[in-house]
């Protein structure tokens, strides 16, 4: 969400989050609801389609950016270069697996 705001997008649809993370509604919705309860994001009903919800960062959500990025930097500094490379390779492998599962899932839905 922070990156989207930096690019000039003040909101995103829930389905865009699902697609980006290769997750379904049942997985994303509880997380979204927890973030809403913590006042980090808010749901806004789309003006043209009442079924669609936009997600926007609240000021409290924006204020978390600096401390979160600082913590990430601290953790990265403690990693050895080899560790970082190994983590990146594992993440690439996981991403390929998820993409394969997603593609197969979509193909199965079309076939069925």
Checking if the pLDDT of 36 tops 90, the result is yes
- Residue 107: the pLDDT is 62
Checking if the pLDDT of 108 tops 70, the result is no
Higher confidence at residue 59 or residue 105? 59
Q: Which long-range contacts (CB under 8 A, 24 or more apart) does 92-99 make?
A: 98/22, 99/22
Question: How high is the mean pLDDT of the chain?
Answer: 86
Among the four given CATH numbers 1.25.40.420, 3.40.50.2300, 2.40.50.140, 1.10.10.10, the one describing domain 2-78:
1.10.10.10
- Residue 112: the pLDDT is 45
Which residues sit opposite 55 in a β-bridge? 12, 43
The residues, any chain, with a CB within 8 Å of residue 52's CB and separated by 6 or more, are 13, 14, 15, 45, 46
Residue 63 CA, chain-centre distance (Å), reads: 18
Could you give the angle at which helices 25-37 and 14-21 cross, rounded to 10 degrees?
120
- Residue 106: the pLDDT is 67
């Amino acid at each position: 969400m922070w990156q989207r705001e930096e690019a000039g997008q003040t909101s995103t649809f829930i389905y865009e989050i699902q697609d980006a993370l290769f997750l379904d509604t049942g997985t994303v919705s509880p997380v979204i609801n927890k973030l809403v309860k913590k006042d980090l994001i808010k749901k806004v009903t789309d003006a043209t389609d009442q079924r669609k919800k936009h997600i926007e960062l609240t000021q409290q959500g924006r204020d978390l950016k600096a401390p979160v990025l600082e913590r990430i930097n601290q953790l990265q500094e403690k990693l050895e270069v080899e560790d970082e490379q190994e983590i990146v390779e594992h993440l690439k492998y996981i991403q390929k697996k998820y993409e394969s599962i997603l593609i197969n899932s979509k193909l199965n839905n079309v076939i069925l």
